[in-house]
């Protein structure tokens, strides 16, 4: 669970969201008669999302539809760790348009990818990951690592060397720490695994073995290491120094395997496929489950399987996906929604990693479930804005305040799971 440092303004936003939720009809909307969706629906959903939530001057995303602009963390901007998910969506839109041979749309979204990247780099300290100011800077390890992943994806898809440089810079900063900030890094060389944060934010003390190691930093670290492994040059020299700014392909794979092994031992329940939120020292894991932790474990497992051929990884991915699409989604037969600050982004993360399992690993048995989420959510959208909140079984009203986190789920799913031919 992301335990963000809650400020008064964020609490106010949460109260508004709760009030909106309480004012919604309690009865589920009728199930949709429409049994499919079209590529026009996909583009309408993505354009609707951008029309409502993208600050077209700064090219970063807003917290919710009540803000005219995304000024900063305390004034309208979506969370720093969620912005890369929205950038992922632009990349996915571009790739889908290219796959469909839609040259005009592909060119449009390729430009959008660049604009969102430039807007975020300008807003967030020029991607100086050693700047720990608490407004537009970096003060939690996983906030950085989500950007590491997206930057690595950007390099994989578009080949921009700046994306690779910033991805590796950020990975190194999380793993080894920062001489400027004064932290020792997320990696625990003594007990294994990754610490979630440094504390205090200013003048931090060394992490201790009893401090929290969350799923939301451990499995994203594996995902980042695997994407980098898949894309860095094969002929690199071994890095030197105590805090190298890059690794070899073999180095990234070794890191990924090590952190995965720790996470599998400490955070994975092999009986059910559930992923624990965290573990503190030798204490029992916190077994509160979240769909984004399921997602990054699925992605970690799938990518390690594709690289190593070890079926053990694939079996773990399937076990976690079965739990996610089964027990976790049993109430409505749809992905679970956690109402609260930023939790709505979890579905967009789930979409990203399920795509690897479904398409790259050939596990197409999950497509009907994913399509059911899309069809149900899209049918219950606010048709005046073409946006959907996180409760897909209910109608989204035209007057409803919707945040960008929850609204991202359906367009993210659509872009990665477009209608089958």
Write out pLDDT tens, residues 241-288: 999 999 999 999 999 999 999 999 999 999 999 999 999 999 999 999
Residue 51: inside a domain = yes
- Provide the whole-model pTM: 0.93
pLDDT at 32: 53
Classified as helix, coil or strand, 375 is: helix
Low-confidence ranges of the chain (pLDDT < 50): 1-30
Residue 421: inside a domain = no
Question: What is the domain range of residue 288?
Answer: 8-416
Residue 117: inside a domain = yes
Residue 278: inside a domain = yes
Residue 302: inside a domain = yes
288-292 CB contacts, 8 Å cutoff, 24+ apart: 288/1, 289/328, 290/1, 290/215, 290/216, 290/338, 290/343, 290/346, 291/324, 291/328, 291/335, 291/336, 291/338, 291/346, 291/347, 291/349, 291/350, 292/216, 292/345, 292/346, 292/349, 292/350
pLDDT at 31: 53
pLDDT at 59: 98
pLDDT at 418: 98
What total number of domains does the chain contain? 1
pLDDT at 22: 41
Locate tokens 């909307």: which residue?
29
Residue 334: inside a domain = yes
Residue 277: inside a domain = yes
pLDDT at 340: 84
pLDDT at 23: 42
> pLDDT by residue (tens digit) across 73-122?
999 999 999 999 999 999 999 999 999 999 999 999 999 999 999 999 99
pLDDT at 420: 87
Residue 317: inside a domain = yes
Gap between the Cα atoms of 78 and 86, Å rounded:
10
Q: What is the CATH number of the domain that holds 162?
A: 1.50.10.20
């Amino acid at each position: 669970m992301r335990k963000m440092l809650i400020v008064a303004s964020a609490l106010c936003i949460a109260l508004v969201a709760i009030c909106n939720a309480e004012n919604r009809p309690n009865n589920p909307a009728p199930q949709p008669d429409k049994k499919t969706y079209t590529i026009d629906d996909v583009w309408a959903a993505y354009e609707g999302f951008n029309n409502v939530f993208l600050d077209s001057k700064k090219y970063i995303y807003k917290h919710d539809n009540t803000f005219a602009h995304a000024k900063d963390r305390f004034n309208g901007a979506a969370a720093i760790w969620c912005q890369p998910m929205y950038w992922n969506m632009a990349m996915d839109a571009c790739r889908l348009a290219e796959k469909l041979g839609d040259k005009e749309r592909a060119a449009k979204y390729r430009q959008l990818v660049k604009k969102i990247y430039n807007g975020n780099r300008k807003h967030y300290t020029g991607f100086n990951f050693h700047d720990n100011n608490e407004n537009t800077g970096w003060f939690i390890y996983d906030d950085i690592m989500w950007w590491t992943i997206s930057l690595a994806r950007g390099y994989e898809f578009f080949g921009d060397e700046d994306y690779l440089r910033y991805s590796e810079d950020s990975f190194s900063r999380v793993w080894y720490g920062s001489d400027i900030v004064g932290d020792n890094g997320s990696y625990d060389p003594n007990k294994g695994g990754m610490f979630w944060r440094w504390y205090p934010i200013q003048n931090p003390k060394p992490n201790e073995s009893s401090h929290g190691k969350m799923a939301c930093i451990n499995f994203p670290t594996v995902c980042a290491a695997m994407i980098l492994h898949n894309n860095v040059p094969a002929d690199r020299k071994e890095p030197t120094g105590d805090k190298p700014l890059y690794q070899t392909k073999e180095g990234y794979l070794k890191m990924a395997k090590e952190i995965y092994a720790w996470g599998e031992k400490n955070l994975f329940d092999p009986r059910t496929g559930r992923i624990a939120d965290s573990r503190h020292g030798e204490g029992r894991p916190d077994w509160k489950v979240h769909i984004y932790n399921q997602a990054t474990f699925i992605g970690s497992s799938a990518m390690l399987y594709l690289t190593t051929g070890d079926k053990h990884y694939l079996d773990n991915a399937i076990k976690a996906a079965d739990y996610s699409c089964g027990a976790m989604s049993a109430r409505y037969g749809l992905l679970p929604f956690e109402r609260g600050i930023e939790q709505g982004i979890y579905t967009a993360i789930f979409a990203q990693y399920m795509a690897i399992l479904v398409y790259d690993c050939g596990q197409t048995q999950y497509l009907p479930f994913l399509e059911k989420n899309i069809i149900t959510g899209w049918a219950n959208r606010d048709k005046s804005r073409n946006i959907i909140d996180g409760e897909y079984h209910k109608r989204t009203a035209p007057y409803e305040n919707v945040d960008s986190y929850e609204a991202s789920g359906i367009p993210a799913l659509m872009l990665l799971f477009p209608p089958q031919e």
